[in-house]
Amino acid sequence: MNEPGKLYVKTFGCQMNVYDTEKIYAFLQDTYVPAASEEEADVIILNTCSIREKAENKVYSQLGRFKPLKDINPDLIIGVGGCVAQQEGERILKRSPSVDVVFGTHNLDELPAMLEERKKSGKRICRVREDTGTVPTADAPRVMGGRGATSLLTIMKGCNNYCAYCVVPFVRGREVSRPASEILDEAVFLVEKGVREITLLGQNVNSYHDPDTGAGFVSLLESMELLPGLERLRFVTSHPKDFSPELAHAMADLPSVCEHIHLPVQAGSDRVLSAMKRGYTSRQYMEKVELLTKLIPEVEFTTDIIVGFPGEEREDFELTMEMLNTVKYQNIYSFRFSSRPGTAAAAMKDPVDADVKRSWLPELQDLQNQITAEKHRNMVGREVEVLVEEKDNKKNGFLEGRTRNNYIVHFPGDPELLGKIVRIRLTNSRAIHVMGEMVN
C-alpha cells in the first residue's frame, strides 16, 4: 500500500463548517492523515464562508499566500470547498490559478474521487452540485466534531427563511433534517468516545422534523436526554420566530439541557426587523426572553446583531442599544451589515450616510463590554460546575472550561482533569472569562 498523504483543512465561518471539516477528514481518512501544518501538507483544503464580504475576501488573500508553497512543491493540491465554492464555482478557478479543485457544500462525498482524478489527469476540476435535498454529510463516517469532551452534531442542513440580508439559503440549500435514529446513533458513538457535552447544530433547530416520524425538536431533545453518559446538551441556532413555549418548558425540565440560549435578535427596531424579514417583533422576542427567565432562573442569553441594515436610522439603532440594556446578554456577536449578492437586501437603497453608521458598531460593542464586565463581576464569589475543555493556551498550568450557563472559566489545575466536571469557586473577573480555583 502507498504511504498515506497529508491533509490540512483550514476552516472559516460557522460551526457548520467546523463540523463539515471533520467530515472532510473522515471522507479522506483512507488516503490522507491530518498534517500538522500547511507546510507539510500534500493537500490543503479551504473550507470557506461567504456570510460577509470580509469573510469571502479572506479566502482569496489566503489563496494568494499559498503560491510560494506551490512553487516549492508543484505536486501540492489546493482545494476550495464550503460556501464561497458553492456560490462562486468555476470563477474561483479563473480568479486563482493555484487552485486545483473546487467542490460545493453538497459535494463532500465526491472529494476522494475528485482528488484522485486531479492527480491522474492533471486537470483542474470544479463540482458544485445543485441542492439535492439530501443531507450531504449523512453517509460520511461518523466523526468527533470537537475537542475531547465536547462535540458538535449536525441535525439539519440548509435554511428556508430567506432573511433579507442572508446568503445561507443560497449556499446551503433548502432545509433538510436528518433522521433522529441517525442522530442518536452518532450521539451514542460520541459518548462512547468520551464526549460529555453535545451541541446540536442547525441554522434553525426549532424547525427540526424527523423525516421518518415527523417528530419535532423537543422530541429529539427528549430522546437525547435518555442517553446514558451525556451530561450536557446544547443547541444552536434557535430562530426566535420558531422558539416555542414548549421548547422553553423542555429546556427547564430536561436536566441535561444547559441554561444558555443563543437567540439572534439582529435588531431592536420593528421597522428594521420587518425589512429584514425576520418574522417577529421586538415585543414577541421579549416575551420569549421573559418566559425563559421565569422558567430558568440561571439562564443566560447570547445573540447576533447586524448594525446598519439598509434604511436603518439612528433611532432604530438606539432601540438595539435598548435591547442590550433590557436583556443583559452575556455576550453578543455583532456585525456591520454587508451586502451579499443575490439577497433581497442587496437591492435595497440606503439613504443613511455610511460614515455616520460607521461609529454605531463600536458604540454597541462598548455598551456590551460594560454589560459583560458587570455580569462577570457578579459571578465572583460564586461556586460553579465547570466542564474542563482544554488547557489555557496562554497561561501554563491553567485549564479552561465552561459553566452550564456558558461562562468561560480559567483556573489552575492538572491536565488530568480534562474532560471532567469540577467545582470551582470564582475569584476574579476578566473581560472574556472569569478566574477561579478548585473546591475540594
Applying CB under 6 A, the residues found at the interface with ligand SAH are 51-52, 165-166, 168, 203-204, 237, 239, 264, 266, 304, 306, 335, 337-338, 340
Binding-site partner at residue 280 among ligand F3S, ligand SAH, ligand SF4, none, CB < 5 to 8 Å by type: none
d(CA 195, CA 190): 5
Q: Which of 7, 9, 46, 49 binds ligand F3S (CB under 6 A)?
A: 49
Residue 345's alpha-carbon distances to 142, 197, 244, 334, in angstroms, are: 38, 37, 28, 18
Tell me, residue by residue from 186 to 215, as one string, x for binding to ligand SF4 by CB under 6 A and - for no binding.
-----------------xx-----------
Smallest distance from the beta carbon of 343 to ligand SF4, in angstroms? 9
| Identity of the residue, 14 or 267, whose beta carbon is nearer to ligand F3S in the bound complex | 14
Binding-site partner at residue 59 among ligand SAH, ligand F3S, ligand SF4, none, CB < 5 to 8 Å by type: none
Smallest distance from the beta carbon of 122 to ligand SF4, in angstroms? 38
Kindly state the cell numbers that stand for 405. 450557563
DSSP string of 46-114, one letter each residue: EEE--SSHHHHHHHHHHHHHTHHHHHH-TT-EEEEEHHHHHHHTHHHHHH-TT--EEE-TT-GGGHHHH
Binding-site partner at residue 335 among ligand SAH, ligand F3S, ligand SF4, none, CB < 5 to 8 Å by type: ligand SAH
Smallest distance from the beta carbon of 237 to ligand SF4, in angstroms? 7
Ranges within 156-175 binding ligand SF4 (CB under 6 A): 159, 161-163, 166, 168-169
Asked if 36 and 29 count as a contact pair (C-beta separation under 8 A), the reply is no
Q: Which of 142, 157, 172, 357 binds ligand F3S (CB under 6 A)?
A: 172
**Chain position carrying cell 438606539:** 318
Buried b (16+ CB within 10 A) or exposed e, 269-301: bbebbebbebebebeebbebbebbeeebeebbb
d(CA 238, CA 243): 7
Asked if 396 and 414 count as a contact pair (C-beta separation under 8 A), the reply is no
The answer to whether residue 171 forms part of the interface with ligand F3S (CB under 6 A) is yes
d(CA 303, CA 319): 15
Using CB atoms within 10 A of its CB, is residue 18 exposed (0-12), middle (13-18) or buried (19+)? middle
Tell me, residue by residue from 128 to 167, as one string, x for binding to ligand F3S by CB under 6 A and - for no binding.
---------------------------------------x
Q: Which of 8, 17, 352, 435 binds ligand F3S (CB under 6 A)?
A: 17
Q: Which of 23, 178, 234, 239 binds ligand SF4 (CB under 6 A)?
A: 239
**Chain position carrying cell 447586524:** 306
The answer to whether residue 236 forms part of the interface with ligand SF4 (CB under 6 A) is no
Binding-site partner at residue 337 among ligand F3S, ligand SF4, ligand SAH, none, CB < 5 to 8 Å by type: ligand SAH
Q: Give residues with Cβ within 8 angstroms of 172, minimum separation 6.
A: 16, 83, 86, 105, 157, 158, 159, 203
| Identity of the residue, 166 or 230, whose beta carbon is nearer to ligand SAH in the bound complex | 166
| Identity of the residue, 164 or 438, whose beta carbon is nearer to ligand SF4 in the bound complex | 164
Using CB atoms within 10 A of its CB, is residue 304 exposed (0-12), middle (13-18) or buried (19+)? middle
| Identity of the residue, 17 or 96, whose beta carbon is nearer to ligand F3S in the bound complex | 17
Binding-site partner at residue 17 among ligand SAH, ligand F3S, ligand SF4, none, CB < 5 to 8 Å by type: ligand F3S
Kindly state the cell numbers that stand for 351. 439613504
Question: Taking contact as CB under 6 A, which single stretch among the options 8-16, 68-76, 149-157, 316-324 is the one that binds ligand F3S?
Answer: 8-16
The answer to whether residue 50 forms part of the interface with ligand F3S (CB under 6 A) is yes
Kindly state the cell numbers that stand for 51. 456570510
**Cis bond upstream, residue 237 (ω within 30):** yes
The answer to whether residue 333 forms part of the interface with ligand SF4 (CB under 6 A) is no
∠ Cα 196 199 205 (to 5°): 150
| Identity of the residue, 51 or 422, whose beta carbon is nearer to ligand SF4 in the bound complex | 51
Report helix angle 217-225 to 245-253, nearest 10: 10
Ranges within 58-87 binding ligand F3S (CB under 6 A): 82-83
Ranges within 342-401 binding ligand SF4 (CB under 6 A): none
List residues near ligand SF4 by CB under 6 A. 159, 161-163, 166, 168-169, 203-204, 239
List residues near ligand F3S by CB under 6 A. 13-14, 16-17, 49-51, 82-83, 167-168, 171-172
